[in-house]
Amino acid sequence: MININVFSQILSLIDRDIFKNLVSSYNSDKHQKGLTSWTHLVSMLFCHLSSSDSVRDISNGLRSTTGNMSHMGISRAPSKSSISYMNEHRDFNLFRDLYFALLSSLWNKDVNHRKELRSLKREVYLMDASVIPLCLSMFDWATFRSNKGAAKLHTVLDYDGCLPVFMEITDGKVHESKKANSFAFPKGSVVVVDRGYVDFQWMNVLDSKGCYFVTRSKSNMRYSVNKSYQSEAMRESGIIKDQIITLEGTASKRYGNKKLRLVHVLDSTTGNEYEFLTNNLQWKPAMVSMIYKQRWQIEIFFKHLKQRLKVTSFIGTSENAVQIQIWTALIGILLLKYIQNKVIYKWNLSNLVSFIRMNIFVKIDFWKWANDQFIKDKIPDKNGQLGVF
């Protein structure tokens, strides 16, 4: 009989030595009075995995597991005021660094296999930003518009693992293009962005560093066509035309007067025409189209982050508290995706989260259950037919 609950088994995935080293480097347990950084992390992960709506829910929820606290590595459940105090004063960078440390040590990109871009032997990064609306009167640091507040998640997703390799959280008014230079992409990699990132000076930097980009062109982009390719075969595959272009006006100077490629694609479902812009002049036009379509993966990531974990309603209003809640959510989704890829059964992430939420303090062998709960043995029935029991 397993004597450890599901939540404790999930917490055991976190390397405590890594965490202790980070706590030591930030000296975050100074004057902690029994409420350690680990207790803080456990509290916030419980918030996400149990879908707690308040510090009271977190405190009462952890208190309900009195005899099992030692399995979680904590001595007592923090009070609601203690959780609020820790979120206000403990440096959020501790949890940010823990996420990237776990990404490096725990995550194995080999468990993910490319599908649509299997033939593309390059690293692919998806870059985008997502806005989380906030009440400006309560989150006064999160300026967005005159009477609206928001936090913005500037994110670079590794396509192979569909997890962030870079994230910066700002107030809502910081434009995406202002953060484009914050992450240095490896030489030879492919950067996929939407039109909000079309800044030809930045794109020139990418090209000069040996990186490729794929994006959508803006409707007011001025250019001249050097070459244009069209054929019936291309049309049958959804490609209207494939053009080599040169920008005009100030855009041309910002991009260094170099050539670009514009691929016109017809969406057979909607009948809409899309124009994809890239600095790679060699790929097949269908590949350019397929690369941009993979940008949808970052939208799926934001959807999971917002719907499966607690990042749209916050238990603290300070900037530090919001940062801590978002970074611990990222730690949570990293652990969930690790579990999802480790077990045999192909869990949908939403179903996995629901199972954990309903059984968070149940004492079962979590890994055994997650592996074979839905894999039924087949035995012959009385007529000799294989049936499922």
Whether residue 151 contacts residue 320, with contact meaning beta carbons closer than 8 Å, is answered with no
pLDDT tens-digit map of 186-221: 999 999 999 999 999 999 999 999 999 999 999 899
pLDDT over 70 (residue 376): no
pLDDT over 50 (residue 380): no
Separation CA 96–CA 168 (nearest Å):
10
Q: Give counts: helices (H), strands (E), the chain.
A: 15, 12
pLDDT for the residue numbered 378 = 40
The whole-model pTM stands at 0.91
CA angle 36, 37, 43 (to 5 degrees): 95
pLDDT tier at 97, thresholds 50, 70, 90: very high
pLDDT for the residue numbered 95 = 98
Single out the residue of 43, 28, 46, 39 nearest to residue 74, CA to CA: 39
Most confident region among 57-71, 169-183, 314-328 by mean pLDDT: 314-328
pLDDT over 60 (residue 273): yes
- Average pLDDT score over residue span 40-61: 96
Return the higher-pLDDT residue of 383 and 264: 264
- Average pLDDT score over residue span 217-233: 93
- Average pLDDT score over residue span 12-28: 96
**Element spanning 124, H or E:** strand 124-134
Whether residue 72 contacts residue 11, with contact meaning beta carbons closer than 8 Å, is answered with yes
* Beta strands 190-192; 212-216: pairing state: parallel
Whether residue 21 contacts residue 37, with contact meaning beta carbons closer than 8 Å, is answered with no
Separation CA 39–CA 275 (nearest Å):
51
Separation CA 271–CA 92 (nearest Å):
47
pLDDT over 80 (residue 373): no
CA atoms within 13 A on the CB side of 239: 21
- Average pLDDT score over residue span 98-105: 94
* Beta strands 163-171; 386-388: pairing state: unpaired
Q: Poorest-confidence range of 143-147, 247-251, 271-275, 285-289? A: 143-147
Q: What is the DSSP string of 275-340?
A: EEEES-SSS-HHHHHHHHHTTHHHHHHHHHHHHHSS-SS-S--SHHHHHHHHHHHHHHHHHHHHHH
Separation CA 150–CA 374 (nearest Å):
41
Mean pLDDT for all residues in the chain = 90
Instruction: At 300, list the tokens.
Output: 């799926």
The alpha-helical segments, DSSP class H, found in the chain are 6-11, 16-26, 37-50, 55-63, 69-72, 80-89, 93-105, 200-208, 232-236, 250-254, 285-293, 296-308, 319-342, 349-358, 366-372
